[in-house]
Chains A and B, each alone.
Chain A
Amino acid sequence: MTLQMTKTQKLLRIIGNNTVPILFLVICAFGIPLSGYSANYLVSEIVIRISRNSFLIVSLLIPILAGMGLNFGMTLGAMAGQIGLILISDWGIVGIPGIILAMIISTPISVILGWWCGKILNMARGREMVTSYIIGFFMNGIYQLVVLYGMGVVIPIRSNSLLLPRGYGIRNTVNLIGIRRSLDDLLLIRPFGIPIPLATLFVIAVLCLFILWFKKTKLGQDMRAVGQDLEVARAAGIKVEHTRIVSIVISTVFAGYGMILYLQNIGTLNTYNSHMQIGMFSVAALLVGGASVSKANIRNVFLGVILFHLMFVVSPMAGKNLIGQAQLGEYFRVFVSYGVITISLVLYEVRKKRDQHYAGMQLAAEQEAST
């Protein structure tokens, strides 16, 4: 007896593997006409959001490759990027030099934080995702300690517009007028009235090329081996713990850069909240694009950004036109955002068990056939 899947089983399998993107396509298909937004508006919104968020989401790819799951600890990289931005705002460095300098400053901070995060994740083998989630919250406390109490006291800040009236601690919002849209406006074209920031998209493209190249390097292959089977990789001589930590470090550094790109587009730094939000919606967007906890590629990133943000943009108006309360649409999109992560996580676990079960059955069938 051989186990072959029927055509319907195969079709169900495809739908099952891509449940989340299909679900989102359906939601968008309903939501877009309901919202009444023009195509022009939607396209320009999506372009802005792609240029703003993609870098952050791409930074999630490497830990997935190394089997660390969804790196909620990218919050740490975001914090490093923000500290870089606070410093250059204080020093009055503007424009592209400001952005590059912020990136340079954030790098050592990201490396240290990523290294520490990776070490802790190695201690929590099998529970990486929850642990990285809690690490994000924990570091938020440390970040507040540094930014709300340390800056101005231990770390010299000269600019009064940054400090709270009491003399130390950074204000809730930092105006990034110096670097606002610096990278975006560098090469802005407007076909059909839709602003497209070519420079930013170019930077994102460079990152994608880097990821593709990285997967082919020895380190990248090591990570893939570690991600597929830890013990086999260890037996093959790969330094498993070290490789896992490196994957988190790289992810954190890129998250820092991504946060800087994100903030240069928005133009204002929400000092105590920005970094907590991006972890959530980056993960959600990646999952919407069809990625799973163990497999993600660049296609997922861009598909995810488009679908997730489309849903996000159209929900309030769609809710208003459908039921009469825009608030409903807003709660709806929050629910969908969290719901998609829940579904993805559940599907991943269920599929993992089913694949193990299936592999076991195949093995049993082969044994039976050979006897």
Chain B
Amino acid sequence: MNLQELTSSAKGLVKSFGLPRIIIGLFLLSLFITAPFVGVNIGTSLSDTFNRFGMNAVMVLAMVPMIHSGCGLNFGLPLGIIAGLLGATISLQVNIPGPTSFLLAILFATPFAVILGWGYGQLLNRVKGGEMMIATYVGFSSVAFMCIMWLLLPFNNPTMVWGYSGTGLRTTISTEGYYLHVLNDFLSIQLTDHLTIPTGMLLFFALLAFIIWAFLHTKTGTAMTAVGSNSVFARASGINVDKVRTLSVIMSTWLGAIGILVYQQSFGFIQLYMGPFYMALPAVSAILIGGASVNKASILNVVIGTFLFQGIVTMTPSVMNSMIHTDMSEVIRIVVSNGMILYALTRKTEVIR
């Protein structure tokens, strides 16, 4: 290959991959490379990155069904998270300690996710074209509504409620004794003193990712993809567009519920009230960083995106702190994640509505 072919193929690669993603990838690589020189242990960093990857991956996976069916980026992820929180709190209320509580949480969260997802899907079907903005505010309103509910619902497990009054849930509830690290420690591999791989959590994500991948290759799954790429053609082929879209929303909401449960078992706390408020944005920007666009996403995007995003979130504080003794990580996180979303929103789309 002569020089001209090389540069043109390189340019093609850059264009298809997207310049911002390459910049982010190189940035992360440079962080990893400089880490040992500034006294940050690579093992711990990798460990943390894998941990955060597992924590967030399922919520990023939740973006895939809705992007596939043309509903856009799921800014309304908080709705799914709320379903998960309901599952978690009810599971704790039932008070069966140990790993079973995790399965119970999933069990209790599912009906909520299905119902909420169905309602949300019906709403989105009536507002085709303006889904993303409405999704954002549906998410916000539901979090605010649940704030009222968390105060009023009749929970009484002493680990969950306020001490003095005995009613109303606390802002953060510990998962210790119930499903703390249930997945993390399952089959976890300890490579070195600093490097631990939370295999259980990663396997769980792999399982869910496989289920989604398999689903997308079924008849309904391909129908979903058809609806997303060209809804007119899909309707002409006899596909019930609204039904498929609602299904994608239900799936997305359910994955959001599972996602927050996975997050909680690793993080150690259930965050109620305004906790889930902004949780959609990291997931949205993660999948976009991974190569997805507003109407096209694959499992590979999820994996790459979550790894890059969480890598930056993990590495920047430790490396930059040691290097320039300032904590610019918050600012970098804001700029990178929102910049990525901006980049995706300003791409030209090929979707015909």
Contact = CB atoms under 8 A, between A and B. Distances in A.
Interface of A: 120, 123-124, 126-127, 129-131, 133-135, 137-138, 140-142, 144-145, 148-149, 325, 327-328, 331-332, 334-335, 337-339, 341-342, 345-346, 348-350, 353
A338 B147 CA distance: 13
A123 B331 contact: no
Interface stretch (B84-92, B121-129, B234-242): B121-129
Interface of B: 75, 123, 126-130, 132-134, 136-138, 140-141, 144-145, 147-148, 151-152, 168, 281, 294, 326, 328, 330-332, 334-335, 338-339, 341-342, 345-346
A339 B130 CA distance: 16
17 contacts: A127-B345, A130-B133, A130-B136, A130-B345, A141-B334, A141-B335, A149-B328, A328-B151, A334-B144, A335-B144, A338-B144, A342-B137, A345-B127, A345-B130, A345-B134, A348-B130, A349-B129
A337 B147 CA distance: 14
B346 to A, nearest CB: 4
Q: Which of A130, A135, A140, A148 has the most CB of B within 10 A?
A: A130
A124 B126 contact: no
Contacts of B133: 129-130, 133, 345
A120 B339 contact: no
Among A133, A328, A350, residue most surrounded by chain B Cβ atoms (within 10 Å): A133
Contact of A325 (B130, B151, B330, B334): B151
B342 A127 contact: no
Which of the listed residues B136, B137, B281, B326 has the most CB atoms from chain A within 10 Å of its own CB? B137
Contact of A145 (B126, B148, B335): B335
Contacts of B152: 328
A327 B345 contact: no
Contacts of A342: 134, 137-138, 140-141
A134 B341 contact: yes
Contact of A123 (B326, B332, B346): B346
B147 A350 contact: no
A346 B134 contact: yes
Contacts of A129: 130, 133
Contact of B335 (A138, A327, A337, A353): A138
A287 to B, nearest CB: 11
Given A123-B346, A338-B144, A331 B151 contact: yes
B127 A350 contact: yes
Given A131-B342, A138-B342, A338-B140, A332 B148 contact: yes
Contact of B141 (A127, A130, A142, A335): A335
Nearest to A349: B127
A342 B120 CA distance: 12
B132 A346 contact: no
B123 A346 contact: yes
Contacts of B328: 145, 149
